[in-house]
Amino acid sequence: MRERTLLRGRAGWPERFEHLQQPPQRIWIAGSARPRLPAVAVVGSRLATPAGVDIARSIGRGLAGAGAQVISGMARGIDGAAHHGAVDGGGETIAVLGCGIDVCYPAEHARLRRAILTSGCVISEEPPGTPPLKHHFPKRNRLIAALAQAVVVVEATPNSGALSTARWAVDLGREVLAVPGSIRSPQSEGTNLLIRDGARPYLGFGDLLDALPELGPLLPLPIDAKSAEQRISHRLAPELAEILTRMGSTPVLPDELAATLGLSAAVVASRLGSLELEGAILSLPGGRVARTF
């Protein structure tokens, strides 16, 4: 995939960067698409819950199906789920990176990165070869906010970078929506604080429509988990679909699944790996796995 350098003020420069007080002077870009409108950013915690992953993926899928670009940061958790949803929906997605565009971070998103390059693009103001240093990510967040018309924060701890993106969005006059959650959930503490401080609660696509009326003709009805399950299960081999069905709605240990199915731990581990590549499950801390819908 050809890499390009875009200079500020030259042909192809994303004009929405000019809304920033300190726009980048150049960016590096690779992929098959370029930033355009309509565009919505979907961001959130790296340590996402299964429910948060499901919501982010559903939002990404719905926006892509409606023709809107989905913008995020390709991080673990919510960001990756939003990109996956956009790819599932056959739409365009943009990953704004805190490293060089030739660096895959995190490494486990190599397959996702290839899909993003095919259906969208990756962007960075860091030169190729630049590693993902901590101080790059707050800079990256302002670019995400600038490109988007609205930012949806799905899950966020109080110190999450997603809240940095939300603050940039407010400063730029973008709409900010936040998914509410339990007051006992650390992953929802940041989003609940955003709502307390004036962000619009995101309870469904209707809230996004209220925030951006110009998207009205584009937004589809929400895609429910059952239809997502049917679509993903349809392309799975029978033995993979069986595991997905038997997993249920709560996280489970692979050894428990093996005992339930009467299969060896090695066979179950192999099939779970295939399901994770399909985006149907994710691995959680403590060794458990959970469905993404």
Position with higher pLDDT, 273 vs 292: 273
Is the domain of 158 the same as that of 237?
no
Q: What are the tens digits of pLDDT across the range 152-184?
A: 999 999 988 999 999 999 999 999 999 999 888
Q: What are the tens digits of pLDDT across the range 237-255?
A: 888 888 887 776 667 888 8
CATH classification at residue 193: 3.40.50.450
Position with higher pLDDT, 18 vs 66: 18
Position with higher pLDDT, 10 vs 286: 10
CB neighbours of residue 21 within 10 Å? 7
The DSSP-derived string for 152-187 is EE----TT-HHHHHHHHHHHTT-EEEE----TT-HH
The three-point CA angle 33-218-208 to 5° equals 100
Beta carbons of 241 and 233 less than 8 angstroms apart: yes
pLDDT over threshold 70, residue 215: no
Beta carbons of 177 and 154 less than 8 angstroms apart: no
Domain count, the chain: 2
Q: Chain-centre distance of CA 173, in angstroms? A: 22
CB neighbours of residue 248 within 10 Å? 12
Please tell me the number of Cα atoms within 13 Å of 89 on its side-chain side. 29
Q: What are the tens digits of pLDDT across the range 60-99?
A: 988 887 789 999 999 999 999 999 999 998 999 999 999 9
pLDDT score for 231: 52
Q: Which two tokens mark 72?
A: 């995020």
Residue 21 lies in a domain: yes
Q: Which of 193, 215, 237 is the last residue of a domain?
A: 215
pTM: 0.76
Mean pLDDT for the stretch of residues 195-224 = 74
Is the domain of 204 the same as that of 235?
no
| Nearest Cα residue to 192 out of 44, 72, 23, 12 | 44
- Residue length of the chain: 293
Is the domain of 172 the same as that of 236?
no
Mean pLDDT for the stretch of residues 22-41 = 94
Residue 121 lies in a domain: yes
Q: Which of 58-72, 224-238, 264-278 has the lowest mean pLDDT?
A: 224-238
Cα–Cα distance, 198 to 210 (Å, whole number): 15
Is the domain of 202 the same as that of 269?
no
Is the domain of 161 the same as that of 244?
no
pLDDT over threshold 50, residue 222: no
- DSSP 8-state class, residue 252: B
What's the domain range around 278? 225-291
Cα–Cα distance, 231 to 135 (Å, whole number): 40
Top-ranked range on mean pLDDT: pick from 56-65, 144-153, 239-248, 257-266: 144-153
14: which residues sit within 8 A by CB, 6+ positions away? 6, 27, 34, 35, 146, 147
Is the domain of 247 the same as that of 191?
no
Residue 220 lies in a domain: no
Q: Which of 171, 195, 215 is the last residue of a domain?
A: 215
Residue that is written with structure tokens 């299960």 in the block: 233
Residue 269 lies in a domain: yes
Residue 106 lies in a domain: yes
Q: Which of 187, 215, 243 is the last residue of a domain?
A: 215
Residue 12 lies in a domain: yes
Cα–Cα distance, 158 to 192 (Å, whole number): 10
Is the domain of 38 the same as that of 130?
yes
- Going from the C-alpha of 58 to that of each of 41, 161, 228, the distances in angstroms are 13, 21, 8
Is the domain of 74 the same as that of 196?
yes
195: which residues sit within 8 A by CB, 6+ positions away? 178, 180, 201
- Going from the C-alpha of 227 to that of each of 151, 223, 233, 293, the distances in angstroms are 25, 7, 10, 10
Is the domain of 181 the same as that of 38?
yes
Is the domain of 182 the same as that of 268?
no
Alpha-carbon Rg of the chain, whole angstroms?
19
pLDDT over threshold 70, residue 132: yes
Is the domain of 193 the same as that of 58?
yes
Residue 84 lies in a domain: yes
Is the domain of 52 the same as that of 124?
yes
pLDDT over threshold 60, residue 224: no
CATH classification at residue 277: 1.10.10.10
Residue 35 lies in a domain: yes
For 66-104, letters b (16+ CB in 10 Å) and e give: bbbbbbbbbbbbbbbbbbbbbbbbebbbbbbbbbbbbbb
